[in-house]
């Protein structure tokens, strides 16, 4: 498959879940690369400008979807997360999109400028669990995302996955939720780290969990069951979507 077509497929499929689309629902890609940046104090505007500058090179290299977020609750206000859909881990065998799109000399200069704006960067690869995700519905592009990460206790991986499959996903669907993506870390024994990303239109939608609002208190406790005994954490962050720093080249 030609490179540009390959990335278009991954990008369009992830967009079909994250952004409202008129096209029929499609299968999600297998993975997402998540880049988490800790930006230096006072350097946010410079950092965002550099990301915008590199987006043209990324698109030239075939990237058609890259979702930019900034942490607004639950972490540092200088923390940014970028989600890029990925068809296959074999995509990592080629140079980074910025290097392919800019060329080595220009890319080296860009990375030097970027390094001057950040304290730290972490790269993760997450496996997208399309079987446990709920496609996005609605007219508006979501403004916010709630990201919840847990570590499953040793020996409880199958129990936790069964709880998500049999209890939590059906409860979310019954409550009318959409735009929910479940991820597992792609690497590591047992893939014990789980991330759930839920998209919201407004802050008002975050006032209480939709499943809890939908059910009676006793029923909600029954849905939760003993999932708290199976995990460590959670870490919860609220992210603000940044369309001006994102790549949405082929959004339907």
> Mind listing the pLDDT tens digit for each residue in 161-199?
999 999 999 999 999 999 999 999 998 766 789 999 999
Cα-flanking dihedrals φ and ψ of residue 6, to 5°? -60, -50
Please state which architecture CATH assigns to domain 3-127: 2-Layer Sandwich (3.30)
With a cut of 70, say whether residue 139 has pLDDT above it: no
Kindly state the average pLDDT of the residues 229-245. 94
Burial group, residue 117, by CB count within 10 angstroms (0-12, 13-18, 19+): buried
Average pLDDT, the chain: 87
Lowest mean pLDDT among 65-74, 96-105, 137-146: 137-146
Number of H helices, E strands in the chain: 9, 8
Stretch(es) of the chain classified as CATH 3.30.70.100 = 3-127, 129-239
User: What is the value of pTM for the model shown?
Assistant: 0.86
Contacts of 163 (CB under 8 A, 6+ apart): 225, 227, 230
* CA dist., res. 141 & res. 136, Å (int): 9
E-assigned strands of the chain? Answer: 31-39, 67-73, 79-86, 118-128, 144-152, 180-185, 193-200, 231-241
Instruction: Kindly report the CATH number that applies to the domain delimited by 129-239.
Output: 3.30.70.100
Percent of the chain clearing pLDDT 70 (strictly above): 86
- pLDDT over 90 at 20, yes or no: no
Average the pLDDT over 131-145 and give the result: 84
- Per cent of the chain over pLDDT 90 is 69
Structure confidence at residue 102 (pLDDT): 96
């Amino acid at each position: 498959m030609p490179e540009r077509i390959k990335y278009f497929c991954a990008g369009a499929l992830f967009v079909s879940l994250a952004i409202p689309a008129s096209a029929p629902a499609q299968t999600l890609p297998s993975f997402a690369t998540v880049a988490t940046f800790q930006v230096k104090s006072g350097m946010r505007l410079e950092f965002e400008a550099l990301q915008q500058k590199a987006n043209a090179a990324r698109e030239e290299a075939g990237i058609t979807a890259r979702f930019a977020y900034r942490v607004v609750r639950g972490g540092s206000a200088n923390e940014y997360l970028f989600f890029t859909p990925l068809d296959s881990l074999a995509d990592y065998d080629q140079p980074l999109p910025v290097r392919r799109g800019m060329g080595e000399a220009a890319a080296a200069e860009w990375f030097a400028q970027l390094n001057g704006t950040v304290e730290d960067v972490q790269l993760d690869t997450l496996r997208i669990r399309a079987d446990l995700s709920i496609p996005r519905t609605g007219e508006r592009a979501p403004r916010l995302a709630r990201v919840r990460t847990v570590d499953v206790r040793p020996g409880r991986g199958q129990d936790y996955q069964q709880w998500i499959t049999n209890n939590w996903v059906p409860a979310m669907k019954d409550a009318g939720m959409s735009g929910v993506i479940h991820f597992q870390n792609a690497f590591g024994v047992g893939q014990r780290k789980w991330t759930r990303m839920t998209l919201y239109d407004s802050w008002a939608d975050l006032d209480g969990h939709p499943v809890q609002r939908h059910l009676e208190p006793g029923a909600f406790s029954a849905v939760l069951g003993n999932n708290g005994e199976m995990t460590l954490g959670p870490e919860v962050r609220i992210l603000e979507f940044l369309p001006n720093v994102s790549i949405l080249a082929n959004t339907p």
